[in-house]
Amino acid sequence: MTTQKSWRRRTRNQSIFLVLLLLFFGGVYYFLQQQTLAENHVGAHFQKPNGSKTSALQLELADSFPEREAGLMFRKEMPAGNGMLFVFPESKIQSFWMKNTYLSLDIIFINEDKKVVGILKNVPPLNTEPRSVGIPSKYVVELVAGESERLNISVGETLLLEKNVFPPGD
């Protein structure tokens, strides 16, 4: 009987230890995921020439070639007020397609002075037709279709970010 009690106690203690260990590592994993999300996202606004600003946006950064190449492909949903900021190494005419992109998007082209130079609205999903505004841009913001209209974003507005993600000299 004593052996069975000690075996049960040991098994219970091991189970409690395993649960605590899983909770600890789960917490560490969650914390690291949140840190990564915070590092890869930036708060943003568009500012009108009169100084008024749009409501806040949360933009995921795509500032490396693989991130820009993947973009928003394969995503089937994105909450309003969220999007992606593409940061290119140089200002040139940027072209986007919607291959493997399930969301209809508004694509906002921004020059090196952070001014909106063109907007493509309601770009249809799942197609390979290249789309551009034909004006050099260094940054591009993608939002769910209709967001640029809802926020009343227009050409000439300035992109403002809560933290500096622009390369030095920008």
> Does 159 score more than 80 pLDDT?
yes
Sheet holding 136-144, edge to edge: 116-123, 105-110, 136-144, 82-93, 57-62, 41-47, 158-161
Closest CA to 86 of 77, 73, 99: 73
pLDDT band at 66 (very low <50, low <70, confident <90, very high): very high
Q: Tell me, what's the pLDDT at 141?
A: 98
The long-range contacts involving 20-29, CB below 8 angstroms and separated by at least 24 positions, are: none
The type of residue at 72 is: L
* Alpha-carbon distances of 149 from 21, 101, 143, 161, rounded to whole Å: 49, 20, 11, 20
Can you tell me the distance from the alpha carbon of 94 to that of 58, in angstroms, rounded to the nearest whole number? Answer: 22
Q: Tell me, what's the pLDDT at 1?
A: 54
What confidence tens digit (pLDDT) does each residue in 77-95 have? 999 899 999 999 999 999 9
Helix (H, G, I), strand (E, B) or coil at 33: helix
Residues of the chain with pLDDT > 70, as a percent, come to 81
What residue ranges do the domains of the chain occupy? 1-39, 41-161
Q: Tell me, what's the pLDDT at 40?
A: 87
What confidence tens digit (pLDDT) does each residue in 17-52 have? 766 666 655 544 433 333 333 458 999 999 999 999
**Could you tell me the CATH superfamily of domain 41-161?**
Protein of unknown function DUF192 (2.60.120.1140)
What confidence tens digit (pLDDT) does each residue in 101-119 have? 999 999 999 999 999 999 9
pTM for the full predicted model: 0.75
Q: Tell me, what's the pLDDT at 9?
A: 77
Q: Tell me, what's the pLDDT at 166?
A: 56
